[in-house]
């Protein structure tokens, strides 16, 4: 195994380990998966974790969720929209991936406890102001976003692959991981990599990085795979980083 693969594996493991640690909520946990599964008529009053996947939109719309809920997974339910009063205001982690959502309800402005939001692979083209949410993780891969609203400065990981972004969004102050892969970007700001640990620009139209990359040396991983970079530019970028500190992928 080459040095680059070893370094990449170590960097991935460290970043994933940091992101996976969390405090489990106290209370009842209920997991329901598949069209043949059934939900209880009345949910426990102390329900803390509810995962309801692949049961269909009608079953989700019929839910009456207790205020005790802290973690909610509604992925893969073909949801065309989210009812205004469905998500309790105390939810901290919310999965809405693999649905057919085009936007979030107005009630999302009241999700002031939310730390993790996953909207991957929907049809979202516009989002409300998210700056009041204490988000740390925000996943928006595979949507139709051309711009982003104001975001919380607490966001540490921001995933925006395969959208319609032509310019890089402003970086939240706490941001450490940013994925912009598969967007129609052709240029990036001079300070985009500054302060980040992981930056994914793969499958974009970026043909050159800023002339001065010294502020980008906080990066552990810089992914430029399948970008139209000339060989001379690749050599310049590679030379700008210490290979023992930063893995650069072409």
Name every residue whose Cβ is closer than 8 Å to that of residue 206 and which is 6 or more positions away in sequence: 185, 186, 187, 188, 224, 227, 228, 229
Residue 46's pLDDT is 94
Structure tokens at 183: 């967007």
Return the pLDDT at 106. 92
Query: From CA 239, how far away is CA 4, in angstroms rounded?
Result: 14
Backbone angles phi, psi at 5, to 5 degrees: -65, -40
Over residues 8-23, the pLDDT tens digits come to 554 454 444 444 445 6
Query: Where exactly does CATH 3.80.10.10 map onto the chain?
Result: 28-175
Is the per-residue pLDDT at 174 higher than 50? yes
**pLDDT number for residue 190:** 98
Distances (CA, A) of 176 to 187, 195, 200, 247: 20, 7, 12, 15
pLDDT mean over 118-129? 97
Is CATH 3.90.1510.10 the classification given to domain 28-175?
Answer: no
Q: Given pLDDT bands bounded at 50, 70 and 90, which one contains residue 164?
A: very high
Could you give the maximum distance between any two Cα atoms of the chain, in Å?
65
pLDDT tens for each residue of 196-233: 999 999 999 999 999 999 999 999 999 999 999 999 99
Beta strands in 37-164, from DSSP E residues, in sequence order: 47-53, 71-73, 93-95, 116-118, 137-139, 157-159
Taking the whole predicted model, whether its pTM rises above 0.85 is answered as yes
Q: Quick one: average pLDDT of 112-118?
A: 97
**Mean pLDDT (the chain, rounded):** 91
């Amino acid at each position: 195994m080459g040095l680059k693969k070893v370094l990449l594996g170590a960097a991935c493991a460290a970043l994933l380990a940091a992101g996976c640690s969390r405090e489990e909520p106290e209370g009842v946990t209920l997991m329901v998966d598949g069209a043949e599964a059934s939900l209880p008529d009345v949910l426990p009053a102390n329900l803390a974790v509810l995962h309801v996947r692949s049961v269909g939109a009608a079953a989700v719309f019929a839910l009456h969720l207790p205020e005790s809920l802290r973690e909610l997974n509604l992925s893969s339910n073909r949801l065309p929209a989210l009812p205004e009063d469905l998500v309790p205001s105390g939810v901290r982690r919310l999965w809405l991936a693999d649905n057919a959502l085009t936007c979030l309800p107005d009630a999302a402005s009241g999700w002031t406890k939310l730390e993790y939001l996953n909207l991957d692979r929907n049809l979202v083209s516009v989002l409300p102001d998210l700056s009041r949410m204490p988000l740390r993780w925000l996943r928006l891969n595979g949507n139709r976003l051309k711009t982003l609203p104001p975001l919380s400065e607490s966001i540490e990981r921001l995933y925006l692959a395969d959208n319609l972004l032509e310019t890089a969004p402003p970086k939240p102050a706490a941001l450490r991981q940013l994925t912009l892969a598969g967007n129609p970007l052709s240029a990036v700001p001079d300070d985009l990599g500054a302060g980040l640990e992981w930056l994914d620009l793969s499958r974009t139209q970026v043909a050159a990085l800023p002339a001065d990359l010294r502020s980008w040396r906080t990066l552990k991983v810089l992914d430029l795979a399948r970008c139209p970079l000339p060989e001379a530019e690749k050599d310049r970028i590679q030379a700008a980083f210490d290979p023992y500190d930063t893995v650069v992928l072409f």
